[in-house]
Amino acid sequence: MKITKSFFGKINEESEVELFTLLNDNQVSVKITNYGGIVTSIVTPDKNGELDNIACGFDKLETYLSADYLGGYPYFGVICGRCCNRIANGKFTVEGKKYSLATNDGPNHLHGGIVGFDRRLWKADAIKGRDTVGVKMSYFSPDMEEGYPGNATITCTYTLTNNNELILEYTAVTDQTTVVNLTNHTYFNLTGGKKQILDHELELNAKSYTEGVNLIPTGKILPVEGTPLNFLHKKKLKKDIADLETGYDDNFVLDNPEGKLVHAGQLSEGTTGRTVDVYTTQPGIQLYTGYWIPELTIDGEKKFGRYSGVALETQHYPDSINKPEFPSVTLAPKQKFYEKTIYTFGTK
């Protein structure tokens, strides 16, 4: 197991950005930068031992900062927060006090606002365990940043094991009651970006989903049975996708009321044999099939575009702060926020 640190670029005169490369004994490697806590690359072997990057990302910081990319910003690989996904109209009330957040998705607040955790520079410390390598990212989010109450300290630790697991652990503490919902926004393409994700197969251990109107939950939890959202048995992403105007962008309800670590599902791809199993302590998972991923020209080559990656975002449900019937996303002083997600990479 090995961890190396390199210079990734500068976001301004003072701030140098780092890139960490975690490598295990099975040739699995994961690159993570402290800019946005972005997972820029995940290299895994396919069934024949061929190595390829299965995460949408770039090898240069400047591409993450480019106008082209940010114009149709798909949040490749980032940590989303302070509250991931949407808050309707950017408004909520906590302890009788009304708050108005930055809105950056039509009338709504998305993934933490205009400058969310995805565009912050995190403090990063390399960690070397006996059979693991990792990076601990920390970020101090001041009171009223993007409109959220409370000084909050957030950590996200990424650990790679020799069992080909990438473990993500989040913690948060605050000095005033606030909203915290954290996810990682990695998009997978198990062909290494050679084909669209439509032939990928997905199985999700979710019997229900949160009904949405314009991507905001109505509050109703409905069964997936008899709908295109039924992934209880493995099926290709393309099977029912034509029934949906812009592909999948839905929050599934995992049977996980107590926040145990549960198996959320498995993504797989036949030609390469690659699999990704997802385990989480969170109650929900957003399936987003990347309808709006922009096509980019990188070093003269056209890359990405619609359906070039699929995100499996473990999270609390969207707009939970306005839905008392959903699992809570408030964090009070003295409470400790902890969530864990594991992506396990395999072949079959």
Q: Which spans of this chain sit near ligand BGC (rule: CB under 6 A)?
A: 74-75, 85, 215, 249, 286, 288, 292, 313
By C-beta, is 18 or 250 nearer to ligand BGC?
Answer: 250
Cβ at position 183, least distance to ligand BGC in Å: 8
Cβ at position 26, least distance to ligand BGC in Å: 30
DSSP secondary structure code for residue 243 in this structure: G
By C-beta, is 170 or 288 nearer to ligand BGC?
Answer: 288
> Cα dist. 97→82, 83, 150, 225 in Å?
18, 18, 13, 40
By C-beta, is 68 or 131 nearer to ligand BGC?
Answer: 68
SS3 210: strand
By C-beta, is 21 or 181 nearer to ligand BGC?
Answer: 181
Choosing from 185, 200, 316, 339, which is the catalytic residue? 185
Cβ at position 286, least distance to ligand BGC in Å: 5
The answer to whether the CB of 209 falls within 8 A of the CB of 222 is: yes
Helical ranges in the chain per DSSP H: 61-65, 67-71
How does strand 132-141 pair with strand 187-188? unpaired
Active site residue 313: yes
> Cα dist. 278→38, 105, 124, 257, 299 in Å?
18, 28, 25, 17, 33
By C-beta, is 22 or 293 nearer to ligand BGC?
Answer: 293
Alpha-carbon span 168 to 83, nearest angstrom: 17
Alpha-carbon span 21 to 283, nearest angstrom: 30
Choosing from 200, 313, 316, 339, which is the catalytic residue? 313
Cβ at position 67, least distance to ligand BGC in Å: 17
Tell me the residue nearest to ligand BGC as measured from the CB: 288
Cβ at position 180, least distance to ligand BGC in Å: 17
Residues near 189 by beta carbon (within 8 Å), at least 6 away in sequence: 54, 55, 56, 195, 197, 200, 308, 309, 310
Half-sphere exposure for 195 (CA within 13 Å, toward CB): 11
Catalytic residues: 185, 313
